[in-house]
Structure formats: structure tokens, C-alpha cells
Structure 1
Amino acid sequence: MAESKNNVLTHGLSGKVGDLIVFRQRGDKTFVSAKPRERSGEMTDAQKAQQARFQEAAIYGKSALQNEALKKQYQDAAGDGKTPYNVAVADFLKAPNIKEIDLTEYTGKVGDKITVSVTDDFKVTGVTVSIYNADGSVVENGTAELDLLKNKWIFTATAENASLDGDKIVVTASDLPGNVTEKNESL
């Protein structure tokens, strides 16, 4: 897509010219592109699901901008060529990524730490950790705290865990639009 800056001939133009090109405005810039093609054939189930997801993202983007606090956060993150709406839609479409669960400091004692590395394209809002015995019974679950210096989430054990054999750690991360990602580690 071509971009025109301060061009007196194209400034303010929007819409299509014949069946060839389309002009769009974003801020003080004029964008020129080829006319979109008409869809041919029936959409697949995956395409329909993606289209529905994008519609949900668009609804989220519009409603996020109605909330002044969210709007400010998305405005602050909007960089060159991006709008707060674009940032909000992208945030909705991308769930957090749990990169690593570090269990080296967890031995089953109260006060032991489980460190989790989580990223998101915008903001991770929470991380929870659940510990299960081999038989599926819950040892404990709770919220991890963000260590800003390390940019890691730290869970501190509050319950004694006598046997770690076959235990499972389940980490759940969430972001601002409510996307949730889960990852399991076995001991």
C-alpha cells in the first residue's frame, strides 16, 4: 500500500477511483491501494471462525476506547502509524505466551518459589499457579506476583508438599482483554 504525505493532489481523498485504486485517510496521511478483490467460493470453517474472532476483536477495540482508562493505555502504546483501536484489536487477537516455568527453587516447602516468564504483545494482567499431587488432588493454588526488576512472575508456596513424585504444576496467564493461556509442567 502506497503512502502519500502532504501531497496537495491526494490530500483528503478517500474512496475508490473506478475499479482500480482506493484512497484511505489515517490522521494526516493518505494511503493508496489496489481495489480489494471480491471473494470467490465458499469460506472454509476455519475462515468463518477467524472472521468471527476478528469481529469480536473489533467489538472489543471499540468498547475499549469507550473506557477512558483503557483508551489511555492503548493510546500510550500506539506508535507510528498505529491507532489506539489497532493496538486494542491486536491485543484481543493475541493471548499471553508462557515461555518458561522454572521449578528449580521448588522442593515442596513453604516459602519455595516458582518463577514464570510470560510475555504478551500488550500487557499480562495476572498469573496463577496451581500444584496438583499425582492423584489429582490440589496441594495449593494462588497468584504469582510480578517482579519488575526481573520481569518475571514469582509464586511463593504457602503449603507443604510432602511428595513431589508425579506432581503437576499448572500455570495460567491472562491479559487485558481476558485471553487466557495455560501451560503444565510435571515434577
Structure 2
Amino acid sequence: MAKVKNNIVTQGLSGMLGGQLVFRQTSRGTEVSVAPQAPTGPPTAGQTAQRTEFQQAVIYAKGQNQDPAVQAAYGAEAKAQNLSVYNVLLRDFMQAPNITDVDLDEYTGQVGELIVVTADDDHAVKSVAVKIENSDGTLVEEGPAQRQADPNLWHYRTTAPNASLAGDKITVTATDNPNHSTIASRTL
């Protein structure tokens, strides 16, 4: 791609020329590139899945963008990034939350012990749930974690005694505003 600055011939030029070159105006000047080629053959399964997900994102963003509460919640972020609220909603739909850490250092199987979860999202994590199962799959307990002052930190206080930790499975589920979830599991 060529970039042209302060050239009287290309200044203000945009669009396709002869089906071969594309001119586009940016803050850095005029960009010139080869025209994109039309795809040949039917789309792959991955392309079809991506198109379907993007269609769902557009439907979600258009619907949510009409809500004044959503406009208020996403407005500051959109303004800070010089984007529209619609574009921030699209991005939020396309990206599920991340669980970056599940801290089990304080968990010994007693009631009232702390499990700390670190989870983030491009906008916000709406909820975090913790589930503890014995090695044979029986449920010990499950429930919601509480958001802390740092919006990426969530605390879960255990409510049931757990005599044998060997092989127990801790499953953490983080959910964002578009209700996309990410699951992380740790085995003791």
C-alpha cells in the first residue's frame, strides 16, 4: 500500500480507479492499494460462522443502542475511544470475558474461606459464578462471587465444608453484558 502526502494529483481522491486501485483518505494522507479480489467458491464453515456471529452482533448492537441506560453506560467509553456507542456494543458482543486468574491459596475446605477470581472484559464483566465439585462429580457448593472495588476482582466466600480436596474441581464462569460466558476450571 502506498501513502501519498501533499500531492495535488491525489489530494481528495477516494474510491476505486479502473477496478485496479483503491484510493482512501486518512489522517495520514492518501492511501493507495490494490483493489480487493472477490472471493471464489463458497464460503468455508469458519467464514459462515464468523458472518453469523457478526450478524448477531449487529442485531444486538442496534437493539441495545436504543436504550438510554445503555447509551449512558457505554457513552463515556465510546467518547474516550472516539467511537460510537454502536461500535463499542459491537466489540463487546464479539469479545467474551477473560478469566486471568483463580486464586485458591486460601482454600482448605473450610467454611468462609476466600476464592479470588480475576476476570476482565473489553467493557465489563457482569457476573462471576463459582462451583466446587468433589472428585466423583458431586456438588459441594456453588454461588455468585462478589465484585470488589477493582472491577476485575471478584471474591467468593465458601459456604460448605469440604473434607477431601484431592481431585476436587473448581469451575469459574465469567459473564459479560451480552451474556457471553467464559469458563475456567482448576483441579486440586
TM-score by length of 1: 0.82
The Cα of 1:147 is off from its aligned counterpart by: 1.4
Cα distance between partner residues in 1 of 2:108 and 2:32? 59
The Cα of 1:141 is off from its aligned counterpart by: 0.2
Identity of aligned residues (%): 42
CA deviation string 1:5-60 (max 9, x = no partner): xxxx95xx998777454779xxxxxx988665422222111111011111111111
Amino acid in the other structure paired with 2:73: Q
TM-score by length of 2: 0.81
Aligned to 1:109: 110
Q: 1:54 to 1:181 in 2, by over 3 A?
A: same
1:110-149 correspondence runs (5 A):
110-149=111-150
SS in 2 for 1:184: strand
Aligned to 2:154: 153
Aligned to 1:49: 49
SS in 2 for 1:105: coil
Cα distance between partner residues in 1 of 2:112 and 2:167? 21
Cα distance between partner residues in 2 of 1:151 and 1:106? 20
- Runs of 5+ consecutive residues of structure 1 not aligned to the other structure: 3-8, 25-30
Aligned to 1:170: 171
Cα distance between partner residues in 2 of 1:62 and 1:85? 7
Cα distance between partner residues in 1 of 2:81 and 2:159? 46
SS in 2 for 1:39: coil
User: Which runs of at least 4 in structure 1 moved beyond 2 Å after TM superposition?
Assistant: 13-24, 31-41
Greater alpha carbon shift after TM alignment, 123-132 vs 148-157: 148-157
Cα distance between partner residues in 1 of 2:147 and 2:65? 27
Aligned to 1:27: none
The Cα of 1:148 is off from its aligned counterpart by: 1.2
Cα distance between partner residues in 1 of 2:52 and 2:156? 36
CA deviation string 1:78-131 (max 9, x = no partner): 134411111100100100111111000111111101000101111000000000
Cα distance between partner residues in 1 of 2:99 and 2:138? 24
1:4-153 correspondence runs (5 A):
19=19, 20-21=21-22, 37-78=37-78, 79-149=80-150, 151-153=152-154
Cα distance between partner residues in 2 of 1:124 and 1:43? 33
- Runs of 5+ consecutive residues of structure 2 not aligned to the other structure: 4-10
CA contact (8 A) 1:74 1:85 kept: no
Alignment RMSD: 2.7
Cα distance between partner residues in 2 of 1:98 and 1:63? 27
Greater alpha carbon shift after TM alignment, 175-184 vs 35-44: 35-44
